[in-house]
Chains A and B, each alone.
Chain A
């Protein structure tokens, strides 16, 4: 019987597609052991400032986030590419980020799932269950900032070599800077901007964002980058 092991390689998978495609994403996820998958609504940043000003820029996107064993990530990505034509620019992207820790009981659950479902599926697809180390030249930049700045931050990032991004609306957590509306706890509105760039552009883009919209600016932007170890739909960036 197959086992992904006590300490399997795990990945966080993020899939960004048009909002209308949510149903299709779910369908694909359901073929795999995807108990830990979450969907949120996001906005794709505008491709041009002019279009944006006339209300034709931002599009509704779905950001799907899930945790899965690395052995599953690759067939999953392939399936996603085929179904969504991720290779066609703009219709959707997917990438994985390595995890650096996880609760052991979750591994058990992932393991159970793997035993039940992954392997059958993988056999069918004649995939080998070896650890595939898939390298990409990409990296994920995440900027968390005050509400209303994402478009301008994106402009700055574009000037430094980025091509596009996805925004999700969030609010501050924790009780610091905590306001209260009529007795109900209120948190500051925030925006999170996700941008995928080539690794060699990473520094420039982060610098550009931090320079104009860093923690000391009105935007209070906090910019971090995360490693991306496989991707689909980002061929125009890959070298």
Chain B
């Protein structure tokens, strides 16, 4: 079989199967679930696998070259005004398009969807500009992150309590499966032509800064819009009994997501076409390939989102609900950790991040290492989030120390890890987090009678935070290893002989 096809199939199976099996086993052993719901879940998993395969192939051959192309063409222009305008527009357009954001907007009915989406989109746009300008003025990424996070925490004092968790969640949610591959590739493209030594480091960090925009936007909305109490829309479960019902559910929702994703990808395509007309960067054959890849991406996302929303969301909710109601409800925590460990590989953008990291570092940081860090990070975060659901402690107790440690670590680790770590926060918190982990926390919170708005929301924020720690710790280990290696090689430099030995060239017999 074709090598790439084989690789993609393997990747899709290995990222979706573990979480499917875990859920299946748990549904037999711990939380008995109606067979209809499990049928939907399994069918959803099939869609996820197919969708993941298409998405990942499409990201490789279309989204990545498009983003890189745009970045590298933009880095040629000397007009800073143009750079600012394009970055701002791009940030706004792709955020409005992000399907994850629609989900978030629906969860906060107290603010009208269009206002919320516009606010968040402008937030992302502004921060994308900041991220691009950061490169121009060579401002240290960790200084910048410290500044903005402190500003966020100060701002949060004035924010109604019910909005806090949603605000922090939004940072992770908005950087979803469309935004992330594109912005990441954009960053790589911006840095690709540079010949200074910070080029590789600056390939990362755009998503990191872009995640701050939505948090700030929702906090500001909470303060100034004064929407009264924040509420959420509860998960509605449909009961299905026959196989036909199951298929009916999916075919009912498929057109909905087909439309949603179409709205999401069209602006990106338009932007790309404009760039191609202006710069003629890509050759005919490459364009054809990008077109095909774009269709792959579209098919992949539609299948993935349908599968996850119809198949996974109810199971996540039921799990939380059932487990929260039992007497030993602390069992939620270890089970949540288990689920968290296996769920992150099923996030579509994670593979894009891993591949890019491997490319930029030429394999120094492997996908395997990235996956391990992300898995551990998300496992911990789900554990923390569920502790919060059971105890009702404030999100501050976890977010503030978490970010404080992450920001402190950023002074100790090699620069490139800072960008990767802070980017991966946005990457790890994608559609899986908002359609499985969030309903899980919501179900549990309802069952224990907690405040869903403050306790259950925030789970995405945790998922977005812990990878910062996990990956920076990996960076720390890497730095220590590198230091040890350097001492071995030190003896090379002792010889100061500048002689050149030459060979007779005609001896080569060519």
Q: Are A55 and B61 in contact (CB under 8 A)?
A: yes
> Contact: A186 with B193, CB < 8 Å?
yes
Query: Which residue on chain A has the smallest CB distance to residue B62?
Result: A55
Chain B, residue nearest A112 (CB): B491
Cβ of B80 under 8 Å from chain A: yes
Query: In the complex, A137→B78 CA distance in Å?
Result: 50
Q: Give the docked Cα–Cα distance between A101 and B502 (Å).
A: 4
Q: Indicate if A160 sits at the interface (CB-CB under 8 A).
A: no
A207 in contact (CB, < 8 A): no
Is B497 a contact of A104 with CB atoms below 8 Å?
A: yes
- Beyond the given pairs A49-B285, A98-B508, 15 more chain A to chain B contacts, judged by CB atoms under 8 angstroms and listed by A's residue number, are A41-B362, A54-B292, A56-B2, A101-B503, A103-B498, A103-B500, A103-B501, A104-B500, A109-B495, A181-B77, A182-B80, A184-B136, A184-B196, A186-B195, A229-B508
30 A–B contact pairs at CB < 8 A?
A7-B503, A40-B362, A41-B362, A51-B2, A52-B289, A53-B285, A53-B292, A55-B57, A55-B292, A56-B2, A57-B4, A58-B4, A62-B363, A98-B508, A100-B503, A101-B503, A105-B498, A105-B499, A107-B501, A108-B495, A152-B283, A171-B192, A180-B78, A184-B196, A185-B195, A186-B195, A187-B193, A187-B194, A188-B193, A199-B510
* Contact (Cβ within 8 A) B285 A182: no
On chain A, the residues within 8 Å of B278 by CB distance are: none
Distance, CA A35 to CA B498, complexed state (A): 19
Is the pair A148, B282 in contact by a Cβ cutoff of 8 Å? Answer: yes
Q: Are B501 and A104 in contact (CB under 8 A)?
A: yes
**Which of A55, A185, A186, A227 touches B4 (beta carbons < 8 Å)?**
A55
Quick one: CB contact mask for A25-43 with B, threshold 8 Å, 1 for yes?
A: 0000000000100011100
A-B pair number, CB within 8 angstroms: 138
User: Within residues 128 to 184 of chain A, which ones have a CB less than 8 A from any CB in chain B?
Assistant: 135, 139, 147-149, 151-152, 169, 171, 173, 179-184
A99 within 8 A of partner (CB): yes
Contacts of B72 in A (CB 8 A): 189
Interface residue? B277 (CB, 8 A): no
Interface size on A, residues (CB 8 A): 56
Q: Give B472-502 interface residues, CB cut-off 8 Å to A.
A: 489, 492, 495-502
Interchain CB contact (< 8 A) of A103 among B2, B359, B499, B510:
B499
Q: B293 at the A/B interface (Cβ < 8 Å)?
A: yes
Find chain A residues with CB under 8 A from B500 CB.
101-104
Band of interface residues on B: 35 or more
Bitwise interface map of B from 1 to 13 toward A, beta carbon under 8 Å scored 1, else 0: 0111100000000
B288 contacts partner chain A, Cβ-Cβ < 8 Å: yes
Q: Give the chain A neighbours of B193 by CB distance below 8 A.
A: 171, 179, 181, 186-189
Q: Is B135 part of the binding interface, using a Cβ–Cβ cutoff of 8 Å?
A: yes
Report the bound CA distance from A151 to B498 in whole Å. 41
CA distance A198 to B509 in the complex (A): 15
A229→B501 CA distance, assembly (Å): 20
- Asked if A186 and B194 sit within 8 Å, CB to CB, the answer is yes
**Closest 3 pairs between A and B when the two form their complex, measured CB to CB:** A104-B499, A182-B136, A55-B61
Tell me which of B72, B363, B500, B501 has the highest count of chain A C-beta atoms within 10 A of its own C-beta: B501
With an 8 A cutoff between CB atoms, is B281 at the interface?
Answer: yes
Minimum CB–CB distance for A51 against chain B, Å = 7
Contacts A41-B363, A53-B285, A189-B72 given; indicate if A7 touches B501 (C-beta within 8 A): yes
User: A182 to chain B: which residues have CB within 8 Å?
Assistant: 75, 78, 80, 83, 135-136
Nearest B residue (CB) for A133: B509
CB contacts under 8 Å to A, within B307-366, are 358-359, 362-363
Q: Does B60 contact A (CB under 8 A)?
A: yes
| Cβ A148 vs Cβ B286 within 8 A | yes
CA distance A118 to B324 in the complex (A): 64
Q: In the complex, are the beta carbons of A56 and B508 less than 8 A apart?
A: no
Instruction: State whether the Cβ of A85 lies closer than 8 Å to any Cβ in chain B.
Output: no
Is there a chain A Cβ closer than 8 Å to B505's Cβ? Answer: yes
Query: In the complex the two chains form, is B363's CB within 8 Å of A100's CB?
Result: no
Chain A residues proximal to chain B, CB less than 8 Å? 6-7, 9, 18-19, 22, 35, 39-41, 49, 51-59, 62, 98-105, 107-109, 135, 139, 147-149, 151-152, 169, 171, 173, 179-189, 199, 227, 229
The one of B292, B492, B495 that contacts A35, using a Cβ cutoff of 8 Å: B492
How distant is the Cα of A182 from the Cα of B202 in the complex, in angstroms?
14
B60 and A55 form a contact (CB under 8 A):
yes
A149–B281 CA distance with the chains assembled, in angstroms = 11
Q: Whole-angstrom distance from the CB of A133 to the nearest CB of chain B?
A: 9
Smallest Cβ distance from A212 to chain B, in angstroms? 13
Is B362 a contact of A152 with CB atoms below 8 Å?
Answer: no
Given contact pairs A173-B195, A182-B80, A189-B192, A39 touches B363 in the complex (Cβ within 8 A): yes
**A102-B500, A109-B492 known; A181-B510 Cβ under 8 A:** no
Q: Does B259 contact A (CB under 8 A)?
A: no
Q: Is the CB of A185 within 8 A of B358?
A: no
Residue of B nearest to A185 (CB): B195
Closest A residue to B74 by beta carbon equals A181
Cβ of B244 within 8 Å of any chain A Cβ, yes or no, is no
CB distance B501 to A187 under 8 Å? no
A35 touching B489, Cβ below 8 Å:
yes
Residues in B394-451 with C-beta less than 8 Å from chain A: none
- B-chain residues with CB within 8 Å of residue A152 when the two chains form the complex: 283, 285
Query: B54 to nearest A CB, angstroms?
Result: 10
Are A56's CB and B4's CB within 8 A?
Answer: yes
The A-contacting residues of B in range 287-307, CB under 8 angstroms, are: 288-289, 292-293, 296
Given contacts A41-B362, A56-B4, A187-B193, contact A148 B283 (CB under 8 A): yes
B501 touches A101 (CB 8 A): yes
Contacts of B5 in A (CB 8 A): 56
Bound complex: CA A9 to CA B77 (Å):
48
Collect the chain B residues with CB atoms within 8 Å of residue A109's CB. 492, 495
| Complex: chain B residue closest to A36, CB-CB | B492
Which has the most chain B C-beta neighbours within 10 Å: A39, A56, A59, A199? Answer: A56
Q: Which residue of A lies closest to B72 (CB)?
A: A189
